[in-house]
């Protein structure tokens, strides 16, 4: 893929839009969908798809200190006794889930997110994995990953994670610059991260991801270029490069960030353009949607082979499957439904104390939702659509059903982002950098809703 990117195009598409970890997106969930609807979906799955593997997500909300940029659901505390209580409630939730869909299902993908999952002690992490393994079978060759705060682990702890069965790590780095780290209240020396990544390689983790954020306070194109030079030396298997979305009215921690200290829109675009060029020159493949991987990494291989998938954790090599979500605020998917747990510990604990699953909202997808989900995921993951095949799969005449959408793609065709003919759509090499914008063309909800401010910008 070419390493050059037209900054004019970046500026043209610097607009808000969904990340499409699901379609419809989570802002469309409704409180009318509740626990009974979820149980019905579980029992339908039990009746018809026992052999299909599952994905499992566990949300651990605790962090010892507050990162000012963070928009995740988290609980800031130094009292580690809180995690023991939380694990007891996770066990209750899991027991209630199993009552409705049975034990022994295969899990091909497990992800611990947060918060900081490594807030848990080694013993608690072992207890959590034992709890999971009592109810599920973790399949050989699966993806078993955990998000790691470098400030909370040592090489010995990493070895413990590997012994528990984790084969992928994701380190939250964001930026190596000490001034930026201080501005966002997340100080972690680069030397510490380098030592941990080296230890993880020696231990034998299959893939190591590093998260970066551009657009943070005190960042400049020059300072972020230096961070990227350090990343080139670190050479993680995967890189997730996110744009910081400053939404202080929605996310209270961001009110501690001074708007005057944020880089200008032009500086932010310059950081992105530099990042795309530098990571490409360093040998990383652009997977899509802010994700990069070394050519030999399973994610890059899956993209080349047309086996890429996408779920609530982002891009995945695992086949599309149902997702069981555990913990406060966690979002799951069963069949043609989405569901989300209570967002506060009090609500989450109260529901489980009453003997019911803590689901507070969700969505049952319509036929149109399922069709558009297939279209958007094909664009985001394979970068192409065969109109006849998609039409046959959903019993529609594709070109008639999406006549307006195909017409709207004309501008992107003229820009060289999409190739369009009578039978197919293909995202071009340059178009991959704007794949969110291409997918948005097929989003029915955005077509009727011009208020997109709740989304982060797509660039």
70 known member of a binding site: yes
Buried b (16+ CB within 10 A) or exposed e, 70-103: bebbbbeeeeeeebeebbebbbbbbebbbeebee
211 known member of a binding site: yes
The DSSP string of 162-214 is: HHHT--EEEEEEE---HHHHHHTT----HHHHHHHHHHHHHHT-SEEEEEEEE
Dihedrals phi, psi of 437, to nearest 5 degrees = -65, -40
Whole-angstrom distance, CA of residue 51 vs CA of residue 30: 30
331 known member of a binding site: yes
Whole-angstrom distance, CA of residue 107 vs CA of residue 228: 35
Count of H-run helices and E-run strands, the chain? 18, 19
321 known member of a binding site: no
147 known member of a binding site: yes
8 Å CB contact between 442 and 387: no
191 known member of a binding site: no
Whole-angstrom distance, CA of residue 355 vs CA of residue 97: 11
Burial of 400 (0-12, 13-18, 19+ CB in 10 A): exposed
Whole-angstrom distance, CA of residue 14 vs CA of residue 268: 10
69 known member of a binding site: yes
Residues forming the annotated binding site for S-adenosyl-L-methionine?
57, 69-71, 114, 147, 174, 186, 211, 245, 331
Residues forming the annotated binding site for [4Fe-4S] cluster?
63, 67, 70
Residues forming the annotated binding site?
57, 63, 67, 69-71, 114, 147, 174, 186, 211, 245, 331
């Amino acid at each position: 893929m070419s390493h050059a990117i037209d900054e004019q195009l970046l500026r043209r598409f610097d607009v808000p839009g969904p990340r499409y970890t699901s379609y419809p997106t989570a802002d469309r969930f409704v409180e009318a969908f509740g626990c009974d609807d979820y149980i019905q979906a579980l029992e339908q799955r039990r009746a018809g798809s026992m052999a299909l593997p599952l994905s499992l997500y566990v949300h651990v909300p605790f962090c010892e200190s507050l990162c000012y940029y963070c928009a995740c659901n988290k609980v800031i505390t130094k009292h580690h006794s809180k995690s023991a209580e939380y694990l007891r409630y996770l066990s209750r939730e899991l027991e209630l889930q199993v009552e409705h869909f049975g034990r022994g299902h295969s899990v091909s993908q497990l992800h611990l997110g947060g918060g900081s999952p490594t807030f848990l002690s080694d013993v608690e992490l072992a207890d959590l994995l034992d709890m999971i393994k009592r109810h599920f079978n973790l399949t050989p060759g699966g993806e078993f990953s955990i998000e790691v705060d470098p400030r909370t682990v040592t090489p010995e702890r990493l070895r413990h994670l590997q012994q528990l069965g984790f084969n992928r790590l994701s380190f939250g780095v964001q930026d190596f610059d000490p001034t930026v780290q201080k501005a966002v209240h997340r100080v972690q020396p680069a030397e510490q991260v380098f030592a941990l990544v080296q230890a993880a390689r020696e231990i034998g983790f299959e893939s190591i991801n590093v998260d970066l954020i551009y657009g943070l306070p005190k960042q400049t194109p020059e300072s972020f270029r230096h961070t990227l030079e350090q990343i080139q030396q670190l050479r993680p298997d995967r890189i997730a490069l996110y744009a910081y979305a400053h939404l202080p009215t929605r996310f209270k921690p961001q009110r501690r960030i001074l708007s005057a200290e944020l880089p200008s829109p032009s500086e932010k675009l310059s950081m992105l353009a530099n990042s795309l060029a530098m990571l490409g020159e360093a040998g990383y493949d652009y997977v899509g949607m802010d994700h990069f991987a070394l050519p030999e990494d399973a994610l890059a291989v899956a993209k080349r082979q047309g086996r890429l998938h996408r779920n609530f954790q982002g891009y995945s090599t695992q086949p599309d499957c149902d997702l069981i979500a555990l913990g406060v605020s966690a979002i799951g998917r069963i069949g043609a439904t989405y569901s989300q747990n209570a967002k506060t510990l009090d609500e989450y604990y109260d529901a489980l104390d009453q003997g019911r699953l803590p689901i507070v909202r969700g969505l049952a997808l319509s036929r149109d939702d399922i069709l558009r989900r297939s279209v958007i995921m094909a664009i985001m993951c394979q970068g192409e659509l065969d109109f006849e095949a998609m039409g046959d799969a959903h019993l529609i005449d594709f070109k008639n059903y999406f006549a307006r959408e195909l017409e709207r793609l004309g501008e992107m065709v003229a820009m060289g982002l999409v190739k369009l003919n009578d039978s197919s759509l293909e995202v071009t090499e340059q178009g991959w950098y704007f794949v969110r914008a291409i997918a948005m063309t097929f989003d029915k909800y955005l077509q009727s809703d011009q208020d997109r401010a709740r989304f982060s910008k797509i660039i």
